[in-house]
Amino acid sequence: MINTENPWKGMPTNSKRLFPTKIINNVYISTIIKNYVFSIFLETEDFSLSSNLKINGILFKKNKNEIHIVLTDNSNWQLFHYLGIDLIKSIDKHFPSDIELVRQLEYRAFQWQELLKKKYSADMPLTLQIGLFSEIATIIESIKIGYNPERILQAWTGPDKAKQDFNFDNILLELKSYSLEKGPLVTITSEYQLYSPEKPLYLCCYALTFSEIGNTIKQQSNFVLSRFSDISLKSEFIKKLFEYGYDYFNPDQKLISFIIESILNYKISENFPKITPTDLTDGLSDVRYKINISKCSSFLINKIPDYYVIN
C-alpha cells in the first residue's frame, strides 16, 4: 500500500484547511461532524447538483454557495483522497462561470461513479494481470530512464482501450506479453493494433515466467506511485488502474508474481507479418490472430527509439 499521510488526521471536528490549487480559490480539506470532506466555495448560489450522482460511500452536498464532497466511512480515506484530488484537478482551471465549473465537476465525478460501479473480482483474470504488468513495466522503465512522469501518463492509452498501448509524441508502442512455458506466441486482438499510417509503430514483447520471487502488479504500482512527487499524478495513475480493471485498494485480490525473462522489440514495417484494415474486404472486422515472434527475427531492433525529449 502506498505510504500517503492521511491529511484529515488530527483535524478538529468542523474545521477546515486550505487545499493548494493553481487557478481556483477557496478549496478546503475539512471535517463536518466526524466525516472527511472536500469543500468547494463558489461565488454564486445559483447552481444545482445532479441527483443521479451517487458514488458508494461518497455524498455530494450543496449548502448555499458551497459544495461538500463527503466520505461516509473514514476508513476508506485513501481512495477518497485520490478521488477528491482528481476531481479538484479537473476544475482547477479558468471557467467562464461557476455553473460551468460545477458541470465539469459533475462530469468527472460521473466518470468515477461508472468506474466504481464495476464489480472487481477477487480473482483478477490472468490475461488482464499479464497485460497490465507489461504496461506498468514500461512506465517503470521510462521513469528510470528519466522521462517526464506526467507525459508518460498522458501517453499511456492502454486503460482507454485505444488501438495501441502508448501514444507518444513521435511513436506508437504496442505491448504484448507471453509465458515462456507456452512459447513465443502473442495475440493480436484487432486489425488496427499493428496499423499506423501516421506515426512509426513498434511492438514490444515481454517474456514472463510465474515465480513467487517476482513482482505483482501491486508491487509495480507501489513503485510507480513512490516515484511520483505530485499527488495529482498519483491520482491520475490510480484512476487509470481502475479503468484498466484493477482495484488497487482491494486487499483481497489474488495477484500473481511475474519475472521478466526478456524483452524483444520490433519495428512494424510494411513486411512485418500482420493483418491490417487495408488487407480486409468490405464487411470483415474484429480480427483476432496470433504471431509467432520467433519467426520475426528479421524485424528485431536493439531498442525502441527515444519517445520524446527527456524532461
Mean pLDDT to the nearest integer, 290-302:
95
266-281: burial string, b at 16+ Cβ within 10 Å, e else? bebeeebebbbeeeee
Cα distances from 41 to residues 4, 26, 28, 37, 191, in angstroms, run 26, 5, 8, 13, 49
Question: Cβ(69)–Cβ(37) under 8 Å?
Answer: yes
- State the pLDDT at residue 44: 93
Mean pLDDT in the chain? Answer: 91
CB within 8 Å of 308: residues ≥ 6 apart? 147, 151, 168, 169, 170
Length of the chain: 311
pLDDT digits (tens, 9 = 90+) for 140-198: 999 888 888 888 999 999 998 889 999 998 899 999 999 888 889 999 999 999 999 98
pLDDT, mean of residues 11-16: 93
Cα 80 to Cα 74: distance, rounded to the nearest angstrom: 9
Band (309; pLDDT cuts 50, 70, 90): very low
**C-beta separation of 286 from 190 below 8 A:** yes
What tens digit of pLDDT does each residue of 215-237 get?
A: 999 999 999 999 988 888 999 99
Quote the pLDDT of residue 108. Answer: 94
| pLDDT at 82 > cutoff 70 | yes
Nearest to 143 by CA among 135, 134, 152: 152
The alpha carbon torsion through 145, 225, 220, 159 (nearest 10 deg) reads: -90
pTM equals 0.84
